[in-house]
Chains A and B, each alone.
Chain A
Amino acid sequence: MAKTEKKAPAGNKIGNLAIDNTFTPVTYDPQYILMVNKLKKYFPIKGGMVSKTVGYVRAVDGITFNLKRGTTMGLVGESGCGKTTAGRTILRLSGDKTGGQVLFNGQEVYDLSPKEMRAMRTKMQIIFQDPFSSLSPRLPVGEIIGEAVREHNLVPKDQFDDYIDQVMDNCGLQPFHKDRYPHEFSGGQRQRICIARALALNPEFVVCDEPVSALDVSIQAQIINLLRELQEKYNLTYLFISHDLSVVEHISDTVGVMYLGNLVEYGATADIFRNPLHPYTKALFSAIPIPDPGAKMSRIVLEGSIPSPANPPSGCKFHTRCANCMERCKVEAPEQKEIEPGHFVVCHLYDK
């Protein structure tokens, strides 16, 4: 990654290979635990016989938001639009970033030495989307959950067992689960193991990537209530990625809507749900399934095929599928505008 970046310096190459890396650095504002500024993460596409970089998957293409301590930001958007990549890049879990800033407690995460980063890891945790591939098949569950706790000496030795039991109990796991191996669990049980592992470390900030989508609604409710309780008790901050909009509405203070690597709308949860502005957000909300077999849906069907992040459309990236598309949308990328206090949208419909 680093090598290809050198070959393609800031914005002065033609075609696919140019990376525009210009941004105005932000200054630290202590009310925010996390400040993300024009963050970019591109994955190189290799091609040809010699595996030359022929282009990039622009998974995260310049997103900006700030997160207040003790709050939850919901992140929603089309499958493949870059939510997981955004979460992982913020936590520095997928190599180098391509551009932008990530300030955690005012500290640029990508400036930390490996040793500092290891210490930081206990404070920033992630609950992975795919529980199975993130659990070691050779360790019993008690060990999986306790491993890092022991490594970082977070609780005294004589309290260790009780502590792990307590964490497991909080996440709906029972003592008899402790000696079993991951493959002996159902999908939802494995998800709870991931949640327990992350929460056992007493983190300050947790990226929750689809943490409850594999759970039945009752356990879902239990986990969500637990996340909220912990938040109140320890002033935790969450970035909550989910496709379940009713869950997002319930748990989040603010919501960000992503489309093809960009944040297209951002604001307080109530504002977003009461008054969605971006045409993509509107289409998304119209497709929420209603738990009533008689319900009539009036879905806004998105026409056109889904564009590729390797070759995004010009102008507004949504213009190929937008019902309100105007001429200028095709050529000019819209800027972020504040429509009501704290409610931002990136769309030409709101140009004055």
Chain B
Amino acid sequence: MAKKKAEGYLSGREARRISKENRRITNEFEKQRKRKNVPESEYLTQMRDPNNTVEFDNLHTYFFTDAGTVKAVDGVSFDVPIGKTVGVVGESGCGKSVTSLSLMQLLQRPQGQVVEGAIRLNLGDKAYDVTKMPNEKMQNLRGNFMSMIFQEPMTSLNPVFRIGDQVDEVIALHHGEGKTKEQIAERTIELLEMVGIANSRGVYKMYPHELSGGMRQRVMIAMALACSPRLIIADEPTTALDVTIQAQVLDLLRSLKDKINSSIMFITHDLGVIAEMADYVVVMYAGRVVEKGTVEEIFHNPAHPYTIGLMASKPVVGKQVDKLYSIPGKVPNPINMPNYCYFKDRCEMCVAGCEGEYPHEISLSPTHKVTCYRYYDKTDKGGDR
């Protein structure tokens, strides 16, 4: 044990101390959260810009695990404007899902907690800070105002219930008043057809394990769209779909967006899908936003070395290479982040300043921001790189 300690293994005593400390911290958060009859004034807030649906402001979400505190999201700020699609890309494990789960208040608790920052949600006539909202209030918003398509369908479909019953339940819960059981079932079948499921009546009676990966994913999408939400959080919604059905689902999302002016937060690794769907792109690395901008800025003018590496890693149809480019090195341990730029150890474009503290945000244009020392001497006008 002692031999390995240097590599980050903990002694039993240390682990017990951490775990006790964790419980103290998380109990404190949970107590806050579970209070009854919290006055609205506590979570009422003002949007910085009324044209945004969501504003993430310096969000910090940590997991208090026995091995230490995992800083999964460590100061994330970006906006989702009304009627726009924001694509979120980044290294696997960089905190994309945790960011969206923070917004939905669906973090794994008690270990997962928002420890700092705000998530402002624009409900039209007023704005709430999600991080301060009590559970009960949140439940009314989930499924109605906003809904989420989860990354792994099997984690959110119940394996022991039939598909039809599960979708029926969602509709009944939010839009069920005055509808008969048959009408709800009809609506479910209609939704299943909308997402391109053949044999929708047969699938209605099937169990999740009887569906293919892509069919499960589409059931999730149908459930999320059942109530025409104003905000859709789509976490890798099309990874299990072939490109033709993917195109169909993307069209569906777009038409819903246009019809009721919804906003979409779209998390995906598929840069092709981002290019097609997104108005704005946010690039995350190790729990932070390293670059954001309009879709044209990010694709035609990528600035952060991580973004540049990402663009270079993508295989392209019709372009044969022997070995794919892949960014060298590894992500830092989220329990033990360095105090300089998180990407520095892997960066192939380092400049003199990179040893310094974590870089601050530089504006390359009014919409294009990057956190990287390479742009410290650029004026805040941008454009001329």
Q: Which residues of A contact B108 (CB under 8 A)?
A: 183
- The interface residues of chain B lying within 8 Å CB-to-CB of A214 are 92, 151, 236, 239, 269
User: CB distance B89 to A216 under 8 Å?
Assistant: yes
Q: Which residues of B contact A273 (CB under 8 A)?
A: 317-318
Most A C-beta atoms less than 10 A away, residue of B211, B300, B324, B333: B324
Task: Using CB atoms, name the residue of chain B closest to A300.
Answer: B244
CB distance from B66 to the nearest CB of A (A): 9
Q: Does A50 contact B (CB under 8 A)?
A: no
How long is the Cα–Cα vector from A287 to B273 in the complex, in angstroms?
Answer: 11
Count class of interface residues, chain A:
35 or more
Specify which of A283, A287, A289, A308 is in contact with B202 (CB 8 Å cutoff): A308
CA distance A184 to B326 in the complex (A): 25
**CA A294 to CA B138, docked complex, whole Å:** 39
Within 8 A of B (CB), among A210-228: 210, 213-222, 224-225, 228
B42 at the interface (CB under 8 A from A): no
Does B269 contact A250, Cβ atoms closer than 8 Å?
Answer: no
The stretch among B30-38, B212-220, B356-364 that forms the contact with chain A is: B212-220
A74 on the interface (CB 8 Å rule)? Answer: no
- Complex contacts, A78 vs chain B, CB 8 Å: 242, 244-245
Residues of chain A within 8 A (CB-CB) of B212 are 79-80, 82-85
Q: Is A221 in contact with B324, judged by CB distance below 8 angstroms?
A: yes
A45 touches B236 (CB 8 A): no
Complex contacts, B314 vs chain A, CB 8 Å = 217, 246, 291
How distant is the Cα of A217 from the Cα of B199 in the complex, in angstroms? 34
Residue among B94, B97, B202 with the most chain A CB within 10 A?
B202
- Residues from 264 to 292 in A contacting B, C-beta threshold 8 Å: 273, 283-285, 287-292
Q: Is A249 an interface residue (CB 8 A)?
A: yes
Q: Do the beta carbons of A215 and B202 come within 8 Å of each other?
A: no
Q: Beta-carbon contacts of A300-334 to B below 8 Å, as 1s and 0s? A: 01100111111100000000000000000000000
Judge if B106 is at the interface, Cβ distance under 8 Å. Answer: no
For the complex, is B141 an interface residue (Cβ under 8 Å from A)? Answer: no
Interface residue A299 (Cβ < 8 Å from any Cβ of B): yes
Q: A180 CA to B325 CA in the complex, in Å?
A: 30
Chain A residues within an 8 Å CB radius of B295? 293
- Rounded to whole angstroms, the CA-CA distance of A79 and B212 in the bound complex is 7
Q: A79-B214, A187-B97, A219-B91 are in contact. Are A130 and B154 (CB under 8 A)?
A: yes
Output the nearest chain A residue to B272 by Cβ-Cβ distance. A289
With the chains together, A189 CA to B246 CA distance in Å? 24
Interface status of B25 (Cβ within 8 A of chain A) = no
A289 adjacent to B92 (CB under 8 Å): no
Residues of the B chain whose Cβ atoms lie less than 8 Å from the Cβ of A283 = 244
Q: Which of B8, B152, B315 contacts A250 (CB 8 A)?
A: B315
Chain B hits for A299, CB < 8 A: 247
Instruction: Answer whether A176 and B272 are a contact pair too, CB < 8 Å, given A250-B320, A288-B243.
Output: no
Which residue on A lies nearest to B336, using beta carbons? A176
Are B324 and A224 closer than 8 Å at their CB atoms? yes
A77 within 8 A of B: yes
> Which of B65, B198, B330 is close to A306, meaning CB atoms less than 8 Å apart?
B198
- Of the candidates A183, A289, A310, which one forms a contact with B275 in the assembled complex, judged by CB atoms under 8 Å apart? A289
- Is A188 part of the contact surface with B, judged by Cβ < 8 Å? yes
Verify if B327 is at the interface (C-beta below 8 Å from A).
yes
Q: Quick one: which of A176, A214, A293 has the most chain B CB within 10 A?
A: A293
Q: In the complex, are the beta carbons of A243 and B310 less than 8 A apart?
A: no
Please determine whether B269 and A220 come into contact, CB atoms closer than 8 angstroms. Answer: yes
The CB with the most chain B CB atoms within 10 A, among A78, A192, A301, A311, is that of A78
Contacts of B218 in A (CB 8 A): 79
Point out the residues of chain B lying under 8 angstroms from A245, CB to CB: 243, 317
Q: Which residue of A lies closest to B323 (CB)?
A: A225
Q: Given contacts A80-B198, A216-B89, are A225 and B326 in contact (CB under 8 A)?
A: yes
> Are A311 and B199 neighbours in the complex by a CB distance under 8 Å?
yes
Q: Are the CB atoms of B242 and A77 closer together than 8 Å?
A: yes
Q: Is B241 an interface residue (CB 8 A)?
A: yes
| A251: nearest chain-B partner, CB-CB | B315
Shortest Cβ gap from B63 to chain A (Å): 7
B91 in contact with A216 (CB, 8 Å): yes
B29 within 8 A of A: no
Closest CB pairs A-B (n = 8):
A79-B214, A188-B92, A289-B272, A308-B199, A221-B326, A221-B324, A306-B198, A287-B243
Pull 5 A–B residue pairs with CB atoms less than 8 Å apart, ordered by A. Answer: A217-B271, A221-B315, A221-B325, A285-B317, A289-B276
By a beta-carbon cutoff of 8 Å, the part of chain A in contact with chain B is 43, 45, 76-80, 82-85, 129-133, 172, 174-176, 179-180, 183-189, 191-192, 209-210, 213-222, 224-225, 228, 243-247, 249-250, 273, 283-285, 287-295, 297, 299, 301-302, 305-311
B contact set with A: CB distance below 8 Å: 7-9, 63, 65, 67, 70, 89-94, 96-98, 108, 151-155, 193, 196-199, 202, 210-218, 236, 239-247, 269-276, 278, 295-296, 299-300, 309-311, 313-318, 320-321, 323-327, 330, 333, 335
* Given A79-B217, A243-B240, 11 more pairs with CB closer than 8 A: A43-B210, A79-B212, A83-B212, A217-B314, A218-B91, A221-B324, A289-B273, A292-B275, A295-B275, A297-B276, A309-B199
